[in-house]
Structures are given as structure tokens and as C-alpha cells.
Amino acid sequence: MLRRSVERMAARKSARQYWRSLAWQLAVVAAALLVMAWMAVNAVESLQRQHIASGFDFLNETAGFGILQTSVHYTEESSYGRVLLIGIINTIIVAVISIVLATVLGFLIGIGRLSMNWLVSKVCAAYVETLRNIPLLLQILFWYFGVLEALPYPRNSVRVGEGLFILNNRGLYLPLLQSESGAWLVWGALTIGVAAALALRSWAVRKQMATGVRPATTGMVFGILLGLPALALAATGIPFSLNWPHLDGLNFDGGLHIFPELAALAVALATYTAAYIAETVRAGLQSVSRGQREAAAALGLKPSLAVRLVLIPQAMRVIVPPLASEYLSITKNSSLAIAIGYPELVSVFAGTVLNQTGQAIEVITITMGVYLALSLLTSLLMNWYNSAQAMRGE
Amino acid sequence: MRVLALAALMFAFGMAVASAGTLEQVKARGYLGCGVNEGTPGFSTPDAKGNWTGLDVDYCRGIAAAIFNDKTKVRFTPTASQERFAALQAGQFEVLSRNTTWTMDRDVSLGLEFIGVDFYDGQGFMVPKKLGIKSALELNNAVVCTQTGTTTELNAADFFRTHKMKYKILVYQKEAEYLAAYDMGRCDADTTDKSGLYGDRLRLKNPEDHVVLPETISKEPLGPSVRQGDPRWADLCRWVLFALINAEELGITSKNADAMRNSPSPEIRRLLGKEGAFGRSLGLTDDWAYRIIKQVGNYGEIFERNFGMQTPLKIERGLNNLWTKGGLMYAPPIR
Ligand SMILES: N[C@@H](CCC(=O)N[C@@H](CS)C(=O)NCC(=O)O)C(=O)O
């Protein structure tokens, strides 16, 4: 009886606490919004007083300048809004490449640091200590000018075939596969094929878990994976063409062109961030109790299998949350690209557009908004992955 | 990311709206704030001891001489091309004197006021001699390098579009990096104001291996600017510039300024404050122009000192000569 009423009181109290803290939080948010609104009004007023253009109409105006790397249609007649889009795409391109490279390298080095091999573990430790302690901007400049120094002038390009592979200090040129009309069918078939193959595999794994026997699916997987697109190719009459790089004026043109700026930036970001990821991975691995390693050894698993099948899956729960923040810093650090002329968001939008329009407040607000959105997106993906991992571990 | 910080500043506190009274503020503070280039020979370069020299520097020293009778009472703030306008708007200095092109857009939508032209320039290209190019029209599909936040980016785009040539443009934040990239052969051409190209060339590994192509592809009237909102301050800055040019036209130099004060010529007497109350109407003393010329010299002296044949730049007067000598330098009369 007594216990019940105490419990009820406690519940009521915690409910009250809950509401009170909620009210407080709302009040704080409201106050923050008010302050921000006040600042915005203030800023707009003072801009108008100073005859400085304001508002977001400029996004529709003609940009008038050229951009080095454009993966969607862009000419000088395109709008500032289009420049924003290209900036975002270029940021994402370098971020994704760097994230993949950094993750692979980071895991290798993190695992290497715990290696039984003295040399390997010392080399990995030295890597981490060195790379973390040199400012990133210096590393970017080092890679960039290093790459430029190493590559030949266009006249002395390293060349394979007419246009199969051309490398010089203007970048790497490769033939580009171009989709003609009807190509979507082939891409669609490929997507379906991949999805079906994945489904088949997970079915086979489940079967193996349940019965201990894995159904032979290899033939079927290959059949679907290759057969469907092949059928689509045949049906549409191979709707692709190759765009070959060729000499035009002072430089090569056409094909797929990878710029030294992108390469240097991606390598710099990846090698730098890999040092941090390696530490995260090491911490994660060390968090798995010794017993697990010993148990894996007792079961007769080779060390490499023990790491892959026993240690990493358990370590992942410790690794993933800080990994997410490493990915975020890659995205943010990519803005250092402005130093070497890689046209990502800050360089083209918060740089050139800001200067051309003078609308600092609007441009910076949009830029911050984009970074915020990219950060939230990364966090979301990583949280989702993390909870999937955590669940699998239960 | 100084721009970001500046934008945040502007956002949080509103702009430093130029209110009437800039002159009083400057006088009370005891020095002039002057935004300059981080280092382009001829316009503004600091030496190892932090002493600044250059045309843009001398102009600000002229204002200081007029106000304080002491040309050293200036604090120079180096700004990158990209952040210069935001820095002026945010009130980091009172005059922006930084090889800045007067364009309509900058004049009417950035909240600043251009007060005149102190260097008539135009954009050009510099290429390595070994490229074997004689004219900018041979630059088809060239890679050109330049600096962000300049008129240069747009002019280059216009030029290649007009001549139906392909090009790739690389824009760097800092001059140091873009010069290094050009020197290492990342780009076929360096493009900026021609005065800047001559300055750039001096800083390459082998300056004699590079040529500035003959074409001038744009008009770049360079001049100082101030924040909008204080017309009296703008007047003062404008007349300092005019005083420099008028002094050259009247033959007054830093060396003969004292003797010239006794000249019978009414024009000279007005400029040097012997007749009329021109200085007072600017809020200064009547010998304002005398102080400027005595301490920094006339426009011609400043030009020769910073760009002339005695300097490594060796730039001809050309358009920057007086109108009486076939150039464009022409100042309204003091009367
Ligand atoms: N006159 C042009 C270009 C001025 C400009 O910024 N030029 C560059 C290239 S010569 C420069 O001065 N850079 C030196 C620096 O950033 O310190 C403009 O006003 O936009």
C-alpha cells in the first residue's frame, strides 16, 4: 500500500519535472529565435540604410564566370543558383571519395597499430603521430604542389593509346562512357540485377544459419547480375558511346577529366583523417575484452579471421559514433580547397558569388545551411547504420 | 575564413554605418585606418620591418598628412581581394586603397563609394615564353589561373566567350598559391590587371622566361573607396587625390613645395593654401595640400617612385600620364 503511493508520488513528481524542463527548453528556444529574428531585422535594416543589396533574388541572376569542374550542365550564362548546386556537388564528390579512402586506410592503420609485428605497429603509430600533428592546410598544399611537381607538361604527357589514358600536370584524362537514349533501361536492369542478387545472398545466408547448409546460388547470382543488363543492352542496341579525350588548342579536351586539385585534396583529406580514424579503430578494438580474442583463438580461427569475424563486429559499436564525426570533419575540412582552387561550395559560392554580389549575409547563411544539412544527413546515415549494427549484435 | 567572421560581425551588430563624423572619429583616434593589398609590388608591399610602400600606401599617407600633418599616422590593414569590401563595410578601416577596380556593381550595390581613379589599368595575360604564343587569341583551350574575388574572373570569362574559345579557369584564394601554381606549369596563363602581371613576374623563379601578351581585355580603373553615408569624408578623400594630380600639373613637387608657396600664380597659391579657405571647408587647415605634397610628393613623383623606370616594375606612364601629356589624369580645378 505504502509502496504504491510512494511510487505514484514519484511518478507524479517526475511528470512534473518533465513538464517543467520541457517548458524551460521551449522558453530557451523561443528566446534564441527571438534574438535571431531581431538580429536579422537589424541586419536587413542596416543593409538597406547602407544601400547594400539584400534578399535572395540574386540566385536567379546570371553568374558570368567559369568554373573548373562541373558535373552538371553549366555555362557562364547559368545562374548563381546553379553555381550553388555545382558547389554542393563538388563538395560531395570530394567528401565521398575522401571518406571511402580514409575509412579503408584508417582501418588498416588502426588494426596495424595493434599488430603483433613490431615494425608494422611502430610504422602505424608513427603515421598517426605525424599526420595528426601537421596542420591540414599544409598537407593539402604539400600534396598539391607535390603532385604538380611530379607530373609532366602536356607536351610530355604519359600516354597509353590515342586517348585511353593521358596523364599530365593538367590532370588525368580517360575515355568517358556516355549514355544515349534508351540507356536508362540498361541502368534500370543493372539496378534490379544488383538488388535481386543481394536479396538472393541474404536468403542464402539465412538458410545457412537455419540449416547449416548454404544453398548454391553463385550461378544464379551471376546470371541475374549479368543476364538482365545484357538483355537490356541487346534490346536497346547498346545505347552507349565513348567520348575520347583529344588534343584541342593548348590542352586535351573531352573524355573524363580528373583534376589535380581534386586528387590532391582527396588524398590530403583522406590521409589526414585516416590518422584519426585509426585511433578510433584502435580504441574500438581495445574495448573488446581479451577473452573474446582468446576464445576466437581457442576455436582455432586464424588471427585475420578472428579480427574480421569476432573483434571488428563487436568493436564497431564503439567505433561508429566517433567515425560519424570524422566524416563530418572531412566534409567541413574540404572547404580548405579554396587555397588550391578546387571549386567546392566555399570556393565558388562563399567566395566568388559572395564577392560578385556582395551579399555576404545571405551567401554565408545559405552556405552554413548546406553544411548543416550535409552534417545532419551524415549523422542520420551513421545513426541508422549504428542502430542496425547494435541490433544485429543483440 | 575571415569573411565568415566578418559576415557574422555584420549580422550581429549591423553594419558600421558610416555616419557623418568620420573625420572627427579619425582625428580623435589619432590615426587613419587604411585597407591595402597584402603585397603587390607598386601598390602596397610591406618590407621586413613592416614599413609599407606603394601607390595605394602613399595615397593613404597623403590623407594622414592632410589631417595630422604627419604622413606616418596610418594603420595599414592587409586584405585579400575576397574580403576587402566586407572589411570596409564592417568598419575595419575608413579608406580602402587596394588596387580595386571601380565597377558599377561595386559602386551601387556594395554600399561603398568610389572616389576617383589613381591608376588606369586593364587586364592582360602572362604566359611562359616557351609556349610560343604571341597573342591572347592563340589561347584556345588554355588553363588560366587567377585570384578569387576579383573582376578578373568575369573578364576572362567574357574574353573567351566573345572569341568563342574554350578555357579552364582556376581561382585561388591567395596570390602566393596561384603564382606558385602558374610557376609550376599548372596553368598556361596568369591573368590579372597588367600592373599586377608585371608585379607577379618579378616573383617568379625566372622572370625573364615569361611575357605579358599585348592584348588588354578590359578597363580596370583602380581607385580608393569609402563607405557610403558620409559625403564629407568622401569629399575629403576625393580632394586629396585631386590635390596630388593638380600638384603635378602645376609643377609643385615635394622638393619645391616650400618655394612654390611664394609663387605669384593664383592657382598655385590656392592649392598651397595661400589664398582662399579651401582647407577649412574640408574640415582641415588651409595648408592641407601643401602638407600632402611636401610629405608624399605629387602624383607623378608617387608614380615614378613606385612603378617608374627606377623600380624593378618599369611601367610606362601611358594612360596614367597627365591629360596635358596624352594621358587620362585630369583633376577638377581648385577654385
Ligand atoms: N583590380 C582587380 C583585381 C585586384 C586584385 O585583387 N588583384 C590581385 C592579383 S594581382 C591582387 O592584388 N592580389 C594580391 C593580394 O591578394 O594580396 C579588382 O579590383 O578586382
The answer to whether residue A261 neighbours chain B at the CB level (below 8 Å) is yes
Domain count, chain A: 3
List the single best residue of A58, A65, A80, A253 to mutate versus B (max B Cβ within 10 A): A65
Contact status, residue A53 vs residue A361, Cβ threshold 8 Å: no
Q: Name the average pLDDT for chain A.
A: 90
User: How many A from CA of B218 to the centre of ligand 1?
Assistant: 14
Closest protein CA for atom 20 of ligand 1: B150
Pair A151, A295 in one domain:
yes
**A97-101, A202-206, A390-394, B216-220, range with the lowest pLDDT:** A390-394
Distance CA A145, CA A339 (A): 12
Do the chains contact at B3 and A339, CB–CB below 8 Å?
no
User: How would you label B15-39 residue by residue, b for 16+ Cβ within 10 Å and e otherwise?
Assistant: bbbbeeebbeebeeeebbbbbbbbb
Atom of ligand 1 nearest to the CA of B195: 10
Q: What pLDDT score does A1 carry?
A: 55
Top mutation candidate among B152, B217, B219 for ligand 1, by most atoms within 8 Å of CB: B152
Contact status, residue B99 vs residue B37, Cβ threshold 8 Å: yes
Residues of B within 8 A of A346 (CB-CB) are 1
- B15-120+222-325 and B123-218 share one CATH topology? yes
Pair A376, A288 in one domain:
yes
Q: Name the residue of chain B whose CA is nearest to A58's CA.
A: B109
For chain A, give percent helix, strand, coil, nearest 5.
75, 10, 20
Give phi and psi for B261, each to the nearest 5.
-60, -25
C-alpha cell at B38: 597584402
Q: B123-218 belongs to which CATH class? A: alpha beta
Give phi and psi for B41, each to the nearest 5.
-50, 140
pLDDT band at A390 (very low <50, low <70, confident <90, very high): low
- Number of Cβ within 10 Å of residue B283's Cβ equals 15
Distance CA B252, CA B271 (A): 10
Distance CA B99, CA B230 (A): 22
Pair A262, A370 in one domain:
yes
Boundary residue ending a domain (A218, A243, A268): A243
Residues of B within 8 A of A169 (CB-CB) are 184-186
Contact status, residue B295 vs residue B71, Cβ threshold 8 Å: yes
B159 CA to chain A: closest CA distance, Å?
11
The answer to whether residue A54 neighbours chain B at the CB level (below 8 Å) is no
* Mean of pLDDT values over A222-235: 87
**A70-79, A207-216, A257-266, B111-120, range with the lowest pLDDT:** A207-216
Q: Is the predicted pLDDT of residue B306 greater than 50, yes or no?
A: yes
Distance CA B141, CA A162 (A): 19
pLDDT band at A21 (very low <50, low <70, confident <90, very high): confident
User: How many A from CA of B149 to the centre of ligand 1?
Assistant: 8
Residue A73 belongs to a domain: no
Task: Fill in the DSSP letter of residue A152.
Answer: P
Closest residue by Cα to residue A88 from A267, A343, A306, A330: A343
Q: Given phi > 0 = left and psi -120 to 50 = alpha, else beta, which region is B333?
A: beta
Q: Is the predicted pLDDT of residue B17 greater than 60, yes or no?
A: no
Pair A350, A298 in one domain:
yes
Contact status, residue A277 vs residue A110, Cβ threshold 8 Å: yes
Q: A177: exposed, middle or buried (C-beta count within 10 Å: 0-12, 13-18, 19+)?
A: exposed
Which residues, in sequence order, are bridge partners of residue B111? none
C-alpha cell at A269: 583529406
Contact status, residue B254 vs residue B295, Cβ threshold 8 Å: yes
C-alpha cell at A108: 588498416
A131 CA to chain B: closest CA distance, Å?
22
Residue A75 belongs to a domain: no
Domain hosting A343: range is 80-175+244-393
Element housing A256 (H / E): strand A256-258
Contact status, residue B117 vs residue B222, Cβ threshold 8 Å: yes
Pair A160, A212 in one domain:
no
Pair A98, A158 in one domain:
yes
pLDDT band at B110 (very low <50, low <70, confident <90, very high): confident
- Listing DSSP states for A347-382 in one string gives HIIIIIIHHHH--HHHHHHHHHHHHHHHHHHHHHHH
Pair A115, A183 in one domain:
no
Q: Name the average pLDDT for chain B.
A: 93
Closest residue by Cα to residue B64 from B296, B230, B225, B297: B296
- Give contacts of A 321-360 with B, CB under 8 A: 335, 338-341, 343, 346-347, 350-352, 354-358, 360
Give phi and psi for A290, each to the nearest 5.
-55, -35
User: Which residues, including other chains, have CB under 8 Å from residue A341's CB and lie 6 or more apart?
Assistant: A68, A261, A347, B145, B170, B171, B172, B177, B178, B181
User: How many A from CA of B81 to the centre of ligand 1?
Assistant: 5
Closest partner CB to B168 (pick from A68, A76, A361):
A68
Do the chains contact at A250 and B142, CB–CB below 8 Å?
yes
Pair A185, A224 in one domain:
yes
pLDDT band at B266 (very low <50, low <70, confident <90, very high): very high
* Mean of pLDDT values over A375-384: 90
Do the chains contact at B140 and A261, CB–CB below 8 Å?
no
Residue A372 belongs to a domain: yes
User: How many A from CA of A300 to the centre of ligand 1?
Assistant: 68
Residues of B within 8 A of A42 (CB-CB) are 14
Q: Is the predicted pLDDT of residue B69 greater than 70, yes or no?
A: yes
Q: What pLDDT score does A13 carry?
A: 73
pLDDT digits (tens, 9 = 90+) for B214-256: 999 999 999 999 999 999 999 999 999 999 999 999 999 999 9
Alpha helices, DSSP H, located in chain B: 2-13, 22-29, 55-68, 84-89, 104-109, 152-162, 175-183, 194-202, 231-249, 257-260, 266-271, 278-281, 288-296, 299-307
Pair A254, A288 in one domain:
yes
Residues of B within 8 A of A248 (CB-CB) are 140-141, 166
Distance CA B247, CA A225 (A): 84
Q: Is the predicted pLDDT of residue A47 greater than 90, yes or no?
A: no
The alpha carbon of residue A68 and the mean position of all alpha carbons in its chain are separated, in whole angstroms, by 21
Do the chains contact at B148 and A360, CB–CB below 8 Å?
no
Answer yes or no: CATH 1.10.3720.10 is held by domain B15-120+222-325.
Answer: no
In a 13 Å sphere around the CA of B201, the CA atoms on its Cβ side amount to 26
CA-CA-CA-CA dihedral for A268, A270, A272, A276, to nearest 10: 170
C-alpha cell at B12: 550581429
**Ligand 1: lining residues by beta carbon, under 6 Å:** B 37-40, 80-81, 99-101, 147, 150-152, 175, 192-193, 196, 220, 222
Distance CA B54, CA A162 (A): 52
* Mean of pLDDT values over B330-335: 96
Q: What pLDDT score does A89 carry?
A: 97
Closest partner CB to B153 (pick from A39, A47, A352):
A352
B29 CA to chain A: closest CA distance, Å?
24
Task: Fill in the DSSP letter of residue A300.
Answer: T
* Mean of pLDDT values over B94-108: 95
Residue A203 belongs to a domain: yes
Q: Is the predicted pLDDT of residue B316 greater than 90, yes or no?
A: yes
User: How many A from CA of B147 to the centre of ligand 1?
Assistant: 7
Contact status, residue B139 vs residue B165, Cβ threshold 8 Å: yes
Pair A261, A369 in one domain:
yes
Which residues, in sequence order, are bridge partners of residue B227? B112
* Mean of pLDDT values over A366-391: 88
Pairing of strands B189-193, B142-147: parallel
The residue that leads in pLDDT, A263 or A305, is A263
Domain locations along chain B: 15-120+222-325, 123-218
C-alpha cell at A307: 579480427
Residues of A within 8 A of B181 (CB-CB) are 145, 148, 340-341
Q: What pLDDT score does A394 carry?
A: 43
The alpha carbon of residue B73 and the mean position of all alpha carbons in its chain are separated, in whole angstroms, by 19
C-alpha cell at B205: 623563379
How many residues in total does chain A contain?
394
Residue A61 belongs to a domain: no
Distance CA B253, CA B246 (A): 11
C-alpha cell at A256: 573524363
- Give contacts of A 22-41 with B, CB under 8 A: 39-40
* Mean of pLDDT values over A27-54: 79
Atom of ligand 1 nearest to the CA of B200: 10
User: How many A from CA of A142 to the centre of ligand 1?
Assistant: 25
Q: Is the predicted pLDDT of residue A246 greater than 60, yes or no?
A: yes
List the single best residue of A39, A42, A49, A50 to mutate versus B (max B Cβ within 10 A): A50
User: How many A from CA of B37 to the centre of ligand 1?
Assistant: 7
Residue A200 belongs to a domain: yes
Distance CA B59, CA B71 (A): 10
SS3 sequence of B255-322:
CCHHHHCCCCCHHHHHHCCCCCCHHHHCCCCCCHHHHHHHHHCCHHHHHHHHHCCCCCCCCCCHHHCE
Contact status, residue B94 vs residue B75, Cβ threshold 8 Å: no
**A36-45, A98-107, B168-177, B251-260, range with the lowest pLDDT:** A36-45
